[in-house]
Amino acid sequence: MRIKVTSMLGLFAALAFLVSHPVASFGDGEVGEHVNNMQEHLVNYESEIVWFLDELSKIIIAYEDGGSNEYSSDMLIDNWEAVDFHAAIETNYIQIYASIWQGIYGVKASLDSGESLDSVDAQVAGLQKALWQGLGAVKLAARFQSEGLIGTQGDIDSRSLSPSETLDAIKSELDRAIAKSAERLPAEATDIVLSAYLELFEGLEGDLITLDAELVEDLEKDFNVTLPQALGSELSIDDLNQVVSQMKGKLDRSKELMQEAEASRRSVF
């Protein structure tokens, strides 16, 4: 089977928060200096995707021929973790980063279980789409970076964030937890959720509880029970996204309440 490389339009809305607050990176290895000067590395990122897909073609051909010691499905993971683009997409568009991992494991599972070529092709198509969407998102982030609209990658300093920005940061951390789950790293995913609660949400609880105590109680349960249990289960990424989507809805409601309270305080003065 020959993989056709196609260009995909990226979904750039999620980069809005990044423009003001670059997210922290927590890759499997050291994040290279290239993420702080992405514009100079775009050609390399694109060539890495082409190389990755070319190696994927070789793996699939080997499986079609009955298997090979030289090309195994495990190479999919090794090859992905070896490229610089891995860190570039993780630090700039965590949702697509999760989709890429989901696609990699989808292809691997299809090959390992001996599914039909059509089934493998369907998994590969989803992976290709995620890779090229990711490149589009990184290109946009690189342009913002070159224009000075975003800086180098680093940890979020919650002390510098407004309540609304803190709630947006929490949503980004929930997306990162889903990405770690897609990587088959449930313990790391759970740590991210608990850290978001302790380091970000707890600082808002005092004000928020006076506005809607029941909402705060629901979110406390989501952070400490519902989502950690879901991450430790056998739920699919789609099912996990539904759990996170419900949490995001509550976080959005929290944001509305805090913005309304702030507007009310301003009107008094």
Looking at the fold, whether 130 and 230 belong to one and the same domain comes out as no
Looking at the fold, whether 193 and 172 belong to one and the same domain comes out as yes
Q: Is residue 2 part of a domain?
A: no
Domain count across the chain: 2
The range of the structural domain enclosing residue 116 comes to 15-146
Looking at the fold, whether 164 and 141 belong to one and the same domain comes out as no
Looking at the fold, whether 124 and 34 belong to one and the same domain comes out as yes
pTM for this predicted structure: 0.70
Of 163, 137, 114, 157, residue with least CA distance to 49: 137
Looking at the fold, whether 84 and 189 belong to one and the same domain comes out as no
Q: Is residue 181 part of a domain?
A: yes
Looking at the fold, whether 139 and 25 belong to one and the same domain comes out as yes
Residue 3 in contact with residue 129, Cβ under 8 Å? no
Two tokens at 68? 């090979």
Looking at the fold, whether 222 and 115 belong to one and the same domain comes out as no
Contacts of 107 (CB under 8 A, 6+ apart): 56, 73, 76, 120, 123, 124, 127
Q: Where is the domain boundary, 122, 146, 170?
A: 146
Q: Where is the domain boundary, 111, 146, 181?
A: 146
Q: Is residue 201 part of a domain?
A: yes
Looking at the fold, whether 30 and 92 belong to one and the same domain comes out as yes
Tell me the CATH number at 225.
Answer: 1.20.120
Contacts of 2 (CB under 8 A, 6+ apart): 57
Question: ∠ CA(231), CA(135), CA(31), 5° rounding?
Answer: 65
Q: Is residue 244 part of a domain?
A: yes
Looking at the fold, whether 133 and 174 belong to one and the same domain comes out as no
Q: Is residue 5 part of a domain?
A: no
Q: Is residue 51 part of a domain?
A: yes
Q: Where is the domain boundary, 123, 146, 169?
A: 146
Per-residue pLDDT of the chain (269 residues; tens, 9 = 90+): 434 333 333 333 344 444 434 443 333 434 567 888 899 999 999 999 999 999 999 999 988 887 667 788 899 999 999 999 999 998 888 888 988 998 999 999 999 999 998 999 999 999 999 999 999 999 988 888 888 776 555 444 555 688 999 999 999 999 999 999 999 999 999 999 999 999 999 999 999 999 999 999 999 999 999 999 999 997 888 899 999 999 999 999 999 999 998 888 776 55
Looking at the fold, whether 22 and 59 belong to one and the same domain comes out as yes
